[in-house]
Amino acid sequence: MAVTSLCFVDDPLQAFREMWRATRHALVVGLLNRHSLLYWRKQGRGGYTGARWDTGRDILEEWVPMLSPSPEMVKLRSAVFLPQGTGMAKWSEQWLPNTLPCGGFLAVGLRR
């Protein structure tokens, strides 16, 4: 499992491919989502300075097809839809489906 670490490496595709090569059964990768409110509020600021922001499309259409062997299962989910973190934001996020592609974080699950 790698959570936002690929957002800060020079060659994330190479790192992603190496993680897949080294894993036995499954891999979960967390990425920052360019199509989110979090991107508009945090990009280039604080701990997000220098981070790369991806999209689900980048991952599914560019990264996953480069893996060998091909994963048997690929799932894409997202979370943190309302980045302000207020009580109302936390409450409302319980009701939003994690299959919406607009959460601040993307989770990609792959299984051999």
- Which pTM does this prediction carry? 0.85
Q: What is the mean pLDDT of residues 80-92?
A: 75
Residue 17 sits in a domain of what CATH number? 3.40.50.150
pLDDT digit string (tens) for 28-47?
999 999 999 899 989 999 99
pLDDT digit string (tens) for 4-20?
999 999 999 999 999 99
- Starting at the edge strand found earlier in the chain, the sheet holding 105-111 runs 2-3, 26-32, 105-111, 73-79
| pLDDT at position 83 | 73
Domain that holds residue 23: 2-111
The count of domains in the chain is 1
What does the alpha-carbon distance between residue 76 and residue 22 come to, in Å, rounded to a whole number? Answer: 21
Identify the band that residue 89 occupies on the pLDDT scale cut at 50, 70 and 90.
confident
Residue 58: CB atoms within 10 A of its CB come to: 17
